[in-house]
Copies of this chain bind each other. A is one copy, B any other.
Amino acid sequence: MSGFPDPVRGPLAPTAGVLRPLGVHDVTISGGPFARWQEINRSASIPLGLEQMEASGALPNLRLAAGEGDGDFRGYRFQDSDLYKQLEAVAWEHLRAPDAGYPEFVAASAALLARAQRPDGYLNSHYQVVKPGKIFAELEYSHEMYCAGHLFQAAVAASRAGCGDDLLAVARRFADLLVERFLTGGDDGIDGHAEVETALVELYRHTGVSAYLELARKLVDNRGKGLIADSGMGPLYSQDHLPVREAGTAAGHAVRQLYLEAAVVDLYLETGDESLLECSVRRWEDMVATKTYLTGGLGARHDGESFGERYELPSDRAYSESCAAIASVHWNWRLLLATGHGRYADLIERTLHNAFAASTSADGVRFFYVNPLQRRADLFEDRYLGRRREWFACACCPPNIMRLVASLGHYVATTDDEGLSVHQYVPGEIRAGAVTLEVETRYPWDGRVRFTVRETPGGPWTLKLRIPAWSEGGLVPDADGYARVRRDWKPGDVLDLDLDLTPRLVVPHRRIDALRGCAAVERGPLVYCFEQIDQEADLEDLALAAEPRLRAVERDVPGLGPTVVIEADAVRLPPAPADGLPYFPSTSTAAAESAPTPVTATAVPYYQWDNRDGGVMRVWTPHL
C-alpha cells in the first residue's frame, strides 16, 4: 500500500523496518481507555505537570543557569529531564489536539534553555550552577547525557508536532558538543543511565546528521567494557558488566536496561546490524519468560531498582516502576517495527492496560512510582502507605506518563507493503495515506471490534489484525500473531473481529516462589485484582475455589465508574494462629478446626486499584 505519511509525525520515524508507524495525529481515539487517559492527561495531569515545572525547581534551576534567578539549585542533578519530558508531552498533545497554550510554553522554555545554554552548547542546570568544575567528570552518575537525551526527544517532538524548531536548535548545539567531545574528540565517556543513545538515533532521523547516529553507535558499542566508573552500585547497575552483544539477560537498573535496549534496536533499524537485533531479542525472550510480572511490569527489586534474578517476582515488593513500563513500550514498539511479530504488540497491550494504566489515579493527579501486585494489611515500613502521590522528589515518572499518553495514537497501527496492521484496538479513526478506517468497539469491556473502510485507494490490500495470544476462536492468526484479510476493499466494507473475553484463571510457573499456590484472574487484556473493599470476608482469609466459576458483570462501581467486575467462587478459610512462631508441624491440625465457608470474591481491573481506600489488594490469590 502506498501513500502513507512521510515523515512520520510521531516519536519514532525509522528509515527501515518491517512495519512503518503512523503519526500521533493519524489516529483519532474517540473512546475506551486510551481516550479516557488522554482526557485526564489534558485536563488534569498536564496542568499539574506544568505547575510542577515551577514548584519542583525545574524552570527556576534553568533561570539560575541563565543568570536570571535568585536562590539555590533545587532537586536532583537530573531535574532538567522533568522539563524535557513535560515539553515532549505538550508537543505530542498539541499535535493530537492543538492548543495555543502548548506551543507558547514550548517557545518560552526553548528561549530560556537557549539563554541558559553555554556558548559551547553545554546545558545542564545542576552542573552549571552547582558543580561547574565537574562537567563531564562524573558521568557514572551525573545524568548529563541522560538529560541531553530527553532534551533531544523533546526537541524532535516539538519540531514534528508543529511547536517550532527553537528547541531543536538548542538540542543540536548540545548534540554537536557531545559529538565533538565523545565521538571525534576521543573521550570514551558513557553516561551511567542510558537514554541519550535512543535519543541520538531519533535526532539523526530527524536531522539527517549521521554523526549523531555514529555517536549513539559508539556509546552502545562501548558499553560493557568497564569505561563507566563505579557509582557505588557496581557495573550491572549501568549495564556495563558485559557488551550488549554478549549480555544474555536483562539485569541491573531496569529503566536503564530498557532504554538501552531501545537504542540497540534503533541502531539495528538504521544500520542493519543483525547482531544487535539478535542480542536484544535474546534478552527479550529471557526477560519475558523469567522476569516479567503478569501486569507487564518490570523490575523486581527496590534495591538498586533492578530486575532481580530469574523467577524472582514478589508481588508485595515488586518495583515495577512506571518508567520501566513506559521504557518497555518503547523497546517493544521498536521490536515490533523491526520484526512485525505480534508478540511485541501483545506485551505492549498487557503493559499499557495494566502496569502502565495503574500508575495514574482515576482523576489524573496522583501517580505511582512503583506498581506492586499486592498491598498488605499492615503497612508500616512505607512512609506513604502504598498510596499514589501527587509528585515526587525524583519525579521521573509523571511527565514520562504524560508524554506516552499524549502520543498513544502513534502506537495503534502501522502500514507496510501488504497494507494496514492494527495492533491496539481502540474506537476511532485510523488514517493511513489514502485509507481511512473506522473502528467501533467497546473493547476491552466487549470483544467485538468492527472495522469499516471509509476511504480506500483502488486495488487489494491486507488488513492485518493482531490476535492476542489469550484469544481463542474467531479469525485465525498466522505465525506472527496477525490474522490477515486481503480484499479489494471498497468504502463501506465492514469486518468484525471477535476476541474471546471469557474470564481466565491463570496460574504461575512453578519456579516463581513468590506465587506458588496462587492464581490470578484475567479478562481480555486486563489483569484483575481483589481489593478488600469489594469482599465479603477478610481478603487475607480468602482463597479461590479449586475450579472457580468466573462471572463477568458490568457494573458502575462508586469511586471507579463503569467497569466490568469478575465474581469468583471462593472460600473463607478458618482463622490462622497469631501466637508463637508462624511455622507448624505438618501434622498439626490447629488450622483445620472449622471448615472453609463458601463466599464470592469480587475482582476489579488492576488498573483501577487504589482509587477508593488504602486497603489490602492482591492480584495473586491463594488457590485451593
B residues in contact with A315, CB < 8 Å: 513
| B582 x A512 contact (CB < 8 A) | yes
The 0/1 profile, CB within 8 Å of B marked 1, for residues 226-240 of chain A is 000000001010000
| B519 x A312 contact (CB < 8 A) | no
Interface size class of A (residues with CB under 8 A): 35 or more
| Interface segment, one of A122-130, A153-161, A371-379 | A371-379
| B582 x A509 contact (CB < 8 A) | yes
| A290 x B582 contact (CB < 8 A) | yes
Is the C-beta of A74 less than 8 angstroms from some C-beta in chain B? no
B residues in contact with A588, CB < 8 Å: 507
| A576 x B374 contact (CB < 8 A) | no
Closest to A241 in B: B380
| A583 x B294 contact (CB < 8 A) | yes
Identify which of A292, A511, A540 gathers the most chain B CB atoms within 10 Å of its CB: A511
- Distance of A139 Cα from B311 Cα, bound (Å): 41
Identify which of A288, A301, A303, A374 gathers the most chain B CB atoms within 10 Å of its CB: A303
Residues of A536-589 whose CB lies within 8 A of B: 540, 547, 573, 576-588
Interface of A (DSSP majority class): loop
| A509 x B576 contact (CB < 8 A) | yes
| A292 x B581 contact (CB < 8 A) | yes
- Distance of A581 Cα from B287 Cα, bound (Å): 9
Supply 10 A–B pairs (Cβ within 8 Å), ascending by A.
A252-B381, A288-B580, A290-B378, A309-B380, A312-B317, A505-B587, A508-B583, A510-B591, A519-B586, A520-B583
Interface residues of A (CB under 8 A from B): 234, 236, 249, 251-252, 285, 288-290, 292, 294, 301-304, 306-312, 314-317, 374, 376-381, 383, 469, 504-514, 516-520, 540, 547, 573, 576-588, 591, 622-623
Beyond A289-B578, A290-B378, 18 additional contacts (C-beta under 8 Å) are A251-B380, A289-B579, A289-B582, A294-B583, A301-B302, A310-B378, A311-B582, A374-B513, A469-B580, A505-B586, A506-B585, A508-B582, A508-B583, A508-B584, A509-B582, A513-B518, A516-B517, A519-B586
